[in-house]
Amino acid sequence: MMLSKLSTRLRYVGRKLLLSSGEFSAGPKSHARGTHFKYFPCEKPIVAVVLGETQKLNMYQAINHGLNIALENNPRSVVFGEDVAFGGVFRCTMDLKNRYGANRVFNTPLCEQGIAGFGIGLANAGILAIAEIQFADYIFPAFDQLVNEAAKMRYRSGNMFDCGKLTIRAPCGAVGHGGLYHSQSPEAYFAHTPGLKIVVPRGAMHAKGLLLSCIDEPDPCIIFEPKTLYRIAVEEVPVAHYKIEIGKAEIVRSGDAVTLVGWGTQVHVLLEVADLVQEKLGVSCEVIDLVSILPWDAELVCKSAKKTGRVIVAHEAPMTNGFGAEIAATIQTECFLHLEAPVQRVTGWDCPFPHIFEPFYLPDKWRCFAAVRDSLKY
């Protein structure tokens, strides 16, 4: 009893630390380092053009706006999870309880498997269920519910039942000081599960559009939100309801020498790499934001691979069995005769995510740059 209470408290301390150091302009005395990337606001607000009015928002505000729209549009929708009622540890659910009532925006006990199972039950009964897992690092107790239950509900019942109204949100990825248990990117574990859909936004505009897509999607979805972007990612976000298609990747920058594929925070690293390559090697890179992990846009990636003949895939998660392996294998099958160099993966090392060694662990711009150079020299 005592022990469990203590560990609960410790876990909260960890969460608080992350919260309070949400500002990333680390002072000279701070042990937290700055970000390993430069944020590139969305240059091609594809949807914004049509949708008119926009508002300057960071990513947690954009998500908050998305949730607000979902709750407003559908009276049979709920938002729940640990500490969600007061606004969430990352502030994504701020003010929602006041607007929609404690019946529709509420805290659950501290129990991820419960949150996932409870959400599946809601969705089975036709309620739009938007669950927050406080950190993707803590999603594993919910693994069984998501992989064996949510993903297989439609299939095993011969389409009699489904929990397509379930959306799981989970903050993921490196944040500069998250250590082993506030930094992981577990998308590949879930990408091995037919029946789930998985997306990762790279900024505010994508977060809102993808969230609203997940909510409308008739299949259970997980949206992994790179937590380091919650405050940094500021851009003009359409005020109205809009969606970004699940399963479609996006060419963020066109180029012809090397294709760089990433998602989430890594897209920004790759954009900086593209600048570096242009400056130092004088060639252009094509940067692709995969956006959607499952299903993923093999067509767009392979088209680019055939054009450039060289591909680098980069992700924060460890290399072995990371989603990069899937992409590399597909490119090998589809584009074999077009390739000028082997597809390379630049990823987190096959180690747990290390606290103070984060700068050495991440697939940062210099490791990616080196891979591009090697690919060009091959």
Partner 1 sequence: MYCDMVTINVMDKIMYGLHRQGRISFYMTNTGEEAVQIGSAAALTLEDTIYAQYREAGVLLHRGQPLAKFMNQCYGNCEDDGKGRQMPVHYGSKELNFMTISSPLTTQLPQAVGAAYAFKLDKKNACVACYFGEGATSEGDAHAAFNFAATLSCPVVFLCRNNGYAISTPVLEQLKGDGIAAKGPAYGINTIRVDGNDVLAMYYATKSAREFCIKQKKPVLIEAMTYRIGHHSTSDDSTVYRSVNEISQWDAHSPLVRFRLYLESLGLWCQKKEQELIDSTKKEIFRAFGEAECKSKPHWKNLFTDVYKEIPDHIRKQMNQMEKHLEEFKEHYPLSSFTHTK
Stretch of 4-12, 22-30, 45-53, 192-200 lying at the interface with partner 1 (CB under 8 A):
192-200
What is d(CA 132, CA 45) in angstroms, rounded to the nearest whole number? 27
For residue 136, the minimal CB distance to partner 1 (Å) is 19
Does residue number 376 form part of the binding site for partner 1 (CB under 8 A)?
no
**Is residue 114 near partner 1 by the rule CB under 8 A?**
yes
Contacts with 292 (C-beta within 8 Å, 6 or more apart), sequence order = 197, 198, 199, 245, 246, 247, 248, 249
Minimum distance from residue 325 beta carbon to partner 1 (Å): 16
Pick the piece of the chain touching partner 1 (CB under 8 A) from 64-72, 101-109, 302-310, 368-376: 101-109
- Of 59, 71, 92, 122, which one interacts with partner 1 (CB under 8 A)? 122
Based on the shown chain and the rule CB under 8 A, indicate whether residue 192 belongs to the binding site for partner 1. no
Identified binder of partner 1 from the candidate list 95, 144, 340, 350, rule CB under 8 A? 144
Residue 198 near residue 294 (C-beta atoms within 8 A): yes
What the block records as the tokens of 111 is 């129990």
Hey, how many other C-beta atoms are within 10 angstroms of the C-beta on 6?
Answer: 10
Q: Which two tokens stand for residue 376?
A: 């060009």
Given phi > 0 = left and psi -120 to 50 = alpha, else beta, which region is 282?
left
In what helix (H) or strand (E) does residue 126 lie, and over which residues does it extend? none
How many residues in the shown chain lie near partner 1 by CB under 8 A? 49
List the x/- string, 46-65, binding to partner 1 by CB under 8 A: --------------------
Q: Is 247 in the site for partner 1 (CB under 8 A)?
A: yes
User: Is 145 near partner 1 (CB under 8 A)?
Assistant: yes
Contact status: 222 vs partner 1 (CB under 8 A): no
Spatial distance between the Cα atoms of 170 and 235, rounded to a whole number of angstroms: 21
* Residue 297 host element (H or E): none
Q: What are the two backbone dihedrals, phi and then psi, of residue 321, each rounded to the nearest 5 degrees?
A: 65, 15
CA atoms within 13 A on the CB side of 371: 25
User: Is 159 among the residues that bind partner 1 (CB under 8 A)?
Assistant: yes
Q: What are phi and psi of 312, to 5 degrees?
A: -120, 130
Which two structure tokens, joined as six digits, stand for 310? 């060289």
End-to-end CA distance of the chain: 60
SS3 236: strand
* 22 versus 114: smaller Cβ distance to partner 1: 114
| Residues forming the active site | 112, 182
Q: Which stretch binds partner 1 (CB under 8 A): 153-161, 168-176, 257-265, 370-378?
A: 153-161
Interaction of residue 302 with partner 1, rule CB under 8 A: no
Give the residue, chosen from 234, 298, 319, 325, that forms a contact with partner 1 under the rule CB under 8 A: 298
Residues near partner 1 (CB under 8 A) are 76, 78, 103-104, 106, 108-109, 111, 113-114, 116-127, 129, 141, 144-145, 148-149, 152-162, 164, 194-195, 197, 218-219, 247, 295, 298-299
